[in-house]
Amino acid sequence: MLKRNLLCKIVGIVVLLAFLAFNIMPGFVADSPLQPQIAEAAAAPKYVFYFIGDGLGASQRQAAEYYLQMKKGDKNAKLLMNKLPVAGINTTHSADSLVTDSAAAGTALAAGHKTNNGVISMLPDGTIVKTLIEAAEEKGMATGIATTTRLTHATPAVFAAHNENRNNENEIAADFLDSGVEFFAGGGYRHFVPQNWQWGKSKRKDDRNIFNEFGKQGYKVFVGERNGAKQFKNYHPNSKEKVIASFTSSHMPYEIDRINANSAIPSLAEITAKGIEVLSKYPNGFFMMVEGGRIDHACHANDAPATIHDVLAFDAAIARAYEFYKQHPNETLIVVVGDHETGGMGLGFAKNYFLKLDELADVKVSVDDTLEGKYTGDRNAYYRYLEQNLGLDNLTAEEKAEIEMAMDIVDSKVETKAYGGYDPAAIAATHVVSERANLYWTTYAHSGTAIPMSAIGVGAANFAGYKDNTEIAGAMAQVMGFDLRE
């Protein structure tokens, strides 16, 4: 009997060890649709993609996936980011607030340190902290920054600049000259051009042309919505080359506007592909940060359709990196994170057990860039615009009353904080769209909820689990062999 009990214990231990080895082996997730490498490579990844969805919480990812399923007529359709085999969840608080802003959250993701809201890659006491891109440059890797916001906006800024205030965008633009980054692409040329620039608006208070200074450093420079965008799309590097491209005075257009306006401005996926084309010419590999920045802006405006379209555009950019990963699976790492959640987006409300995302399908314009200011006093004209561009026909008495109250406020010219600083008539309309879909919002600002992370490739297992956002940068440094403390 004693021998039998001992044999049973030994068999049990063997089974347990086999189970643990199977389930915690680095990089392995059972039944995953995209299988990573079963064992992590000993060397650091040669190619790293760091995708940051600004404002991208769990609700935003899931709403976009449900919308994709509705549009495709396939309940099994998934976002690529939701299929990556390594998953985790991250807290986002800053040093001085449980609800972070993008500067503090970006600093945590770029440098692994908590700082105060509004601060760009510096500690609250003013100490400069090293970023992952700076560490990559020191290691001899090529680096890239791509975004749908202004290049000098908080998230791209934290990777290649240091400043006590995120609003010092003119200073941040000049800081980029010393960054060594080989590929920049996004919006916001107004912070790079001199104050008397003849081809568009400038926000600079001096006569510096930062683009000319980049040109003197050997960069290919592409500026503007038409010629700049066309030249950028047609450009193909022959060897190791450096690029800075800025297509718009401020932020890039929302994807919903870009598509419906048939804009010449490249999509985030096209920019990502061009970044790969440029950076892959460098023999020591590359580190590329890609931001889906306008997800956040759409959520600030409580704009569900624009949010979803920008999440889908962000996912399409991830797909370009995944295509590269499939060609270099033993050398590539892809990490997808958000910096915080925006809008307090809720999938469902009150006692309603439904989501009707088909209610969003007829919306053709964004709230923030297009609907804002459309109501100028002619109510019939505004209702016609809402019917044609937001699909808001057959308004109920309750829906019409909501919009009428907002138009009354606009007509009265009385300032109110009830609409988050946005045009009340535009916000009332977008809330009706959301309510029809049973999507509701708790804030016009950020929320403090934890957000999802996903990854695939060399070292991906290091990003799994419940982590603080500073730990993501720490894990990246560890995988890459960087020391962010120096």
Instruction: Give the CA count within 13 Å in the CB-facing half-sphere of 307.
Output: 36
Residue 25's pLDDT is 33
Residue 36's pLDDT is 42
**342 appears as a binding residue in the annotation:** no
Contact criterion met (CB below 8 Å) for 168 and 180: no
Catalytic one of 59, 94, 102, 454 = 102
Banded pLDDT at 348 (limits 50, 70, 90): very high
Distance CA 394, CA 122 (A): 53
**155 appears as a binding residue in the annotation:** yes
Q: Does residue 108 register a pLDDT over 50? A: yes
Residue 42's pLDDT is 61
| Residue closest to 270 by CA, chosen among 202, 197, 320 | 320
Average pLDDT, the chain: 92
Banded pLDDT at 309 (limits 50, 70, 90): very high
Mean pLDDT of all residues in 461-478:
98
Residue 100's pLDDT is 98
Q: Is 102 assigned a catalytic role?
A: yes
Distance CA 365, CA 258 (A): 9
Q: Tokens at residue 460, please?
A: 């991906």
Residue 276's pLDDT is 98
Residue 26's pLDDT is 34
Q: Does residue 242 register a pLDDT over 90? A: yes
pTM score, whole prediction: 0.91
Say if strands 183-187 and 142-150 run parallel, antiparallel, or are unpaired. parallel
**251 appears as a binding residue in the annotation:** no
**191 appears as a binding residue in the annotation:** no
**206 appears as a binding residue in the annotation:** no
Of 20-29, 217-226, 304-313, give the lowest mean pLDDT range: 20-29
Q: Tokens at residue 35, please?
A: 């299988």
**404 appears as a binding residue in the annotation:** no
Q: Tokens at residue 88, please?
A: 């985790």
User: Long-range contacts for 3-7 (Cβ within 8 Å, ≥24 apart)?
Assistant: none
In SS3 terms, the chain reads as: CHHHHHHHHHHHHHHHHHHHHHHHCCCCCCCCCCCCCCCCCCCCCCEEEEEEECCCCHHHHHHHHHHHHHHHCCCCCCCHHHCCCEEEEEECCCCCCCCCCHHHHHHHHHHCCCCCCCCECECCCCCECCCHHHHHHHCCCEEEEEEEEECCCHHHHHHHCCECCCCCHHHHHHHHHHCCCCEEEEECHHHCCCCCCCCCCCCCCCCCCHHHHHHHCCEEEEECCCHHHHHHHHCCCCCCCEEEEECCCCCCCCHHHHHHCCCCCCCHHHHHHHHHHHHCCCCCCEEEEEEECHHHHHHHCCCHHHHHHHHHHHHHHHHHHHHHHHHCCCCEEEEEEECCEECCCEECCCCCCCCCHHHHCCCCCCHHHHHCCCCCCCHHHHHHHHHHHHCCCCCCHHHHHHHHHHHHHHHHCCCCCCCCCCCHHHHHHHHHHHHHHCEECCCCCEECCCEEEEEEECCHHHHCEEEEHHHHHHHHHHHHCCCCCC
Summarised one tens digit per residue, pLDDT across range 67-97 is: 999 999 999 999 999 999 999 999 999 999 9
Mean pLDDT of all residues in 297-311:
98
**54 appears as a binding residue in the annotation:** yes
Residue 198's pLDDT is 84
**182 appears as a binding residue in the annotation:** no
Summarised one tens digit per residue, pLDDT across range 135-193 is: 999 999 999 999 999 999 999 999 999 999 999 999 999 999 999 999 999 999 999 99
Banded pLDDT at 194 (limits 50, 70, 90): very high
| Residue closest to 446 by CA, chosen among 149, 50, 124, 118 | 118
Banded pLDDT at 38 (limits 50, 70, 90): very low
Q: Does residue 23 register a pLDDT over 70? A: no
Residue 43's pLDDT is 87
| Residue closest to 373 by CA, chosen among 301, 431, 417, 425 | 425
Mean pLDDT of all residues in 355-363:
97
Counting residues of the chain whose pLDDT is more than 70, the rounded percentage is 91
Mean pLDDT of all residues in 444-463:
98
**446 appears as a binding residue in the annotation:** yes
Banded pLDDT at 39 (limits 50, 70, 90): very low
